[in-house]
Every structure is written in structure tokens, then in C-alpha cells.
Structure 1
């Protein structure tokens, strides 16, 4: 199996939200977006690891960041070995194979992905050392920018690189922030059970849901400004699922069911064809 097909298989195993929009992209863009997603999923699995202590998480994340910053025309086979030394048996496959994901993207855009992943990995290390303490809304904005708003900016760079599509960068940040805020809403109980609370002091469920919806308004503006084409096709799907998740939680569900997801995807497909 070649690297691209292997990457798509790993992607399918790790994200039902992003596999579908990525697999529909034109091949060149698909490789860039899949590379970015898997590199960031690799470090996300370190940040969220259920048994690693925060000091180990910060150490691994900083070593990954420094390795990515040293990239020139790719990475030698054992470039990331030092990052994972002693942790090879507990880190997931998607993390241990970050070198492969980093070289999946076309060489004309790969360094942008290395840069974005390195910066995010460093920010994740900072938040791990703080034990993800969110004191106020400014902290929440910093966190959601660091791990998701910056992804919106990178996606804008990918669209521009592929076909010259122009985007509003402020709205791009809102797109990433909004999706991340929905994740916080959806995963709050699970996060809390492992001792992490991403909600600012004094906030309740309604406050974090309102925060998510404020940012999704920017995500709407971002998506609605996109011309017909692969960027629009990609962005519509996670945005529809984000709104659907908030609506499901408002009705007392924990998350979207598979049938809910299928119905939303059908709705998105129908609207994009009309």
C-alpha cells in the first residue's frame, strides 16, 4: 500500500468528521490536507493521552516541534526517534508515524504544514505544563487559537496554494475556534473525568455553548464567502456536523448518532449540488 492510501486508512480510523471531506478532495490538495490533519492528530494524541504525565507530554511535544523546525527537504527515517524514546509502546500509531505524514504533502506546501504543526506542538506543551488551566475567556481564546484557530489559517493557506482561493483570515480563525469549542462542549464530561476542564472559571454548559455559537457565526461567514470548489466542499461538512452536535446536545443527547451524521452529510451533499 502506498503512503497516500495508507494515510487515508489511518485517517478513516481516527476521524469520521474529517475523513469524508478529505477523501473527496482533488488528489494534490487531498495529500496536503491529509498530511496536515494527520500531523496535528499525531500531536493531539500526545496532548490527550490518558496515562502520560504532563511533564512527559510537554517533553515529547517540544521535541516534536524542534524536529519539525529542522526540516529541510524532508526528514531522515529516525528523525523523530528521540522524541518518542521510552514511549514507543504507549503512543498510538498515528503519533509514531508523524514523519510519514509530514512528507505526504507536496513539497511546495509541506514546509507550511511543518511550521503550523511545530507551532501547535509548542503551544500544546505550554498548556500541558499549565494542566490546561483556563481562568477566563481570554485564556480560552488563547487555547482555542493555539490548537484550532491556527488550523483555520493553515487551511486558508492550503486553499490559496492549490487554486488561489482568497479568504478572510479573521473568519478562518473563527472557523477553527468554533469547531474546537464544539469539541469542548461534546467532550466536557470525558475531559473532566481525567482531571481537565477547558471551561473558564464560573462558566456552565450554556456559556461554553454560547461561545461556540459566536465563533460558528464567523465560521459561517468564512464558508459562505468561498467560491464553489474543493475548499467549500470541504468546509461545509465539519461546519454542518458542528451545528448538528450542538443541536443534539441541546436535546439531551451526548453526541450525534451515526444516522444523524448520515442525514447531515446527505443534506450537505444535496445543497452543494443544487
Structure 2
């Protein structure tokens, strides 16, 4: 009986090696682009009427890419919060797993692999079309991670880094969607400014809702300066002091919005019109909050449809004119924030407890 050699005893592959190939890259996870667009259009229609209105002013290629990007942002937000369009789910203990899921699905989408989720497949599609990178996506997901951890800012710098993650970084992505070159740092700075302005306006409007959800984005140092114990800013006896802090938020928002208008002036007309329309609508919300004073959080502040149409019409004339130089350029720049993000890493969460008295 012949003895089999060691070579003969080696395990055989189930398939010949010559037919084993890396997975085929499928942009959009293999879904048809039109299918992804329809899902994205429904997402923005449900998630943000203001952005949906402004986005229709874009030329078609820009509008479609903006919808695809929005669908990913909206889906990430819902997964991170354990909610669907505002309805909270009782699964906070799974926060870490949800954030990890965002990263895994986003990387798969960037690699051109199916994700079984249209919003992430849409991100894979727009990432290829608009040159979006994994670093850009990671910057945004870092903001969702902070929210999932129950984080709150200690300083104004912390606040601005958070706003960069959840909105400024999205503004940079939108600049790429609109065709801004990778090396045009000035335009990317202005796009970031617009995102920061929007997020500061959101924080001013949503203070009551955030408090009900156990969140607060007012820096602890601001609260201490105003003699408001952390966690008590919504109590009636602190309303006057809260109004002053919210005015401070709106002032910051206005500074970044004014800077963003300088960049918008360099965009093609339809893109410029859309950007200025969104800026008019969001800053109208912020200014309305400031004007309402102590009554600002008795109900959610909104802007009516006629007012939004008026904002769009004003934006048309603004898009034809040369923007005014900002009366005051923002204290916080994209470069400064990015330096802190890259050097210091994620913002560390701090306990949701009052700070000790200085005399203790």
C-alpha cells in the first residue's frame, strides 16, 4: 500500500484558490440610485420641513446628494438616540452598541458593501459622488457618541467642539456636496460656521426638551457665572438668568451665521440661494426664542410657512447682493476646534452633579 506524502495530506480548499476573489464593490450597497433617492426624500420630508424646503432651491445634482447625506445623518441620530423621528425607545443601556453599529455600518457603506439599511447605503452613494471620507463620518459620529454617553459641556470650548461634531462637520460635508474643492480651506471654514450657527440655534430652542430628556448643552461654567446650580436651569426662579444665557447662545449663532454668508457668496447662484434660505429660517427661530424672553420654552418655537416663504424670498435678493463684512468674526474657528479634536481626542464626559462650592 502506497504511503501518502505530507503534500497529499494537506487539507483541500472547498473552492479552487483561483476563483476566490475579494468582495465586489457595489456603490449604494447594490441598490438602485433612484430607490435610495426616494427613501432619502421621504426622510427629509419627515425629519426637517425647513431643510426640505431649502434643499429644493438647489440644482438637481446638488439637491439629490444633499438628500442622500441628510438620510444618513437622520438615521444615525435616530439609532444613537434609540428613537424614530422623535419617539424615544427604552434601550439606553445599549448606547455603546448603537454607536458601534453606526461605525460598522458607515464603514461598510464606504467600502461599497450592502448594509441592509437604505440610509447607510445612501451614504455610500453620496460619499463616492462627493468625495466624503471616513474621517468626516467619524467626526459626526463622535457627536452622537457624546449624546449617547449623557455628556454635557463644562466650558464654552467644549460646547463649540460638540457643535462641530454634530453640525459643523456636516457643514463641511455639505460643502463637498456642493463641489467645494478639498483644498479650499476658507470655504470649508465658512461651511463649518453655518453648521455651528444652526446647532447653536437648535440648542437655544430646545433647552426645555433637552432638559426633559436629561440633557443640557449650556456650559457648566456659564451656569456657575449665572448662579444657576447645574440641573436647575429650567426652574422658574432661574428663568431670567436663563434668558441671558440663551441670548449669549444666539449671539454666538449670529456671529457664525454672518461669517457663513461670506462663504455663501462664492457659491453658484442656486446653491447660494438655498444656503441663505436655510440660514434665514434657522436664525429666525433663534431670534424668536431670544425675543420671547422667559416665555420662550412655554411651547416649542417654530416659524410659520408664510414666514419661511418670506425667508426664501429675502434670500433671493440677498443672493444677488454682496454680503456685508461681519461686525464681529467668530471667536471659535474651525482650525482651532479641529486642533483640539485631533490633539485631545473625544471630549471626556463629566458627572451630572453640581460643582462643589469654592469654600468647601
Considering the TM-score relative to the shorter chain, is it more than 0.5? yes
1:173-252 equivalent positions in 2, closer than 5 A: 173-201=192-220, 202=223, 204-225=242-263, 226-227=265-266, 228-252=268-292
Is the alpha carbon distance of 1:195 and 1:13 closer, same or farther for their aligned partners in structure 2, counting shifts above 3 Å?
A: same
Equivalent residues of 2:39, 2:118 under 8 A apart: no
Equivalent residues of 2:58, 2:270 under 8 A apart: yes
**1:3 and 2:36 are equivalent in the alignment:** yes
| CA displacement at 1:266 relative to structure 2 | 2.8
1:56-205 equivalent positions in 2, closer than 5 A: 56-72=94-110, 74-76=112-114, 79=115, 97-105=118-126, 107-109=128-130, 112=132, 115-129=135-149, 131-161=150-180, 167-201=186-220, 202=223, 204-205=242-243
| CA displacement at 1:245 relative to structure 2 | 0.8
Equivalent residues of 1:172, 1:219 under 8 A apart: no
Equivalent residues of 1:32, 1:105 under 8 A apart: yes
Equivalent residues of 2:140, 2:165 under 8 A apart: yes
SS of 1:198's equivalent?
coil
Is the alpha carbon distance of 1:205 and 1:140 closer, same or farther for their aligned partners in structure 2, counting shifts above 3 Å?
A: farther
Equivalent residues of 1:113, 1:154 under 8 A apart: no
| CA displacement at 1:197 relative to structure 2 | 1.1
CA–CA distance in 1 between the matches of 2:110 and 2:163? 29
Can you give the 5+ residue segments of structure 1 that lack an aligned partner in the other structure? 81-95
Equivalent residues of 2:36, 2:118 under 8 A apart: no
**1:261 and 2:308 are equivalent in the alignment:** yes
Equivalent residues of 1:62, 1:125 under 8 A apart: no
Equivalent residues of 1:68, 1:115 under 8 A apart: no
CA–CA distance in 1 between the matches of 2:317 and 2:256? 23
TM-score normalized with structure 2 length: 0.62
Can you give the 5+ residue segments of structure 2 that lack an aligned partner in the other structure? 1-33, 227-241, 322-360
Alignment match of 1:26 (pick from 48, 59, 64)? 59
Is the alpha carbon distance of 1:113 and 1:22 closer, same or farther for their aligned partners in structure 2, counting shifts above 3 Å?
A: farther
TM-score normalized with structure 1 length: 0.80
Aligned residues: 255
CA–CA distance in 2 between the matches of 1:103 and 1:169? 21
* Root-mean-square deviation (Å): 2.9
The residue number in structure 1 matching 2:31 is: none
Is the alpha carbon distance of 1:166 and 1:32 closer, same or farther for their aligned partners in structure 2, counting shifts above 3 Å?
A: farther
Is the alpha carbon distance of 1:56 and 1:106 closer, same or farther for their aligned partners in structure 2, counting shifts above 3 Å?
A: closer
Deviation by residue 1:121-161 (Cα, 9 ceiling, x = unmatched): 243224422x1222221221121111011112222222335
Is the alpha carbon distance of 1:160 and 1:167 closer, same or farther for their aligned partners in structure 2, counting shifts above 3 Å?
A: farther
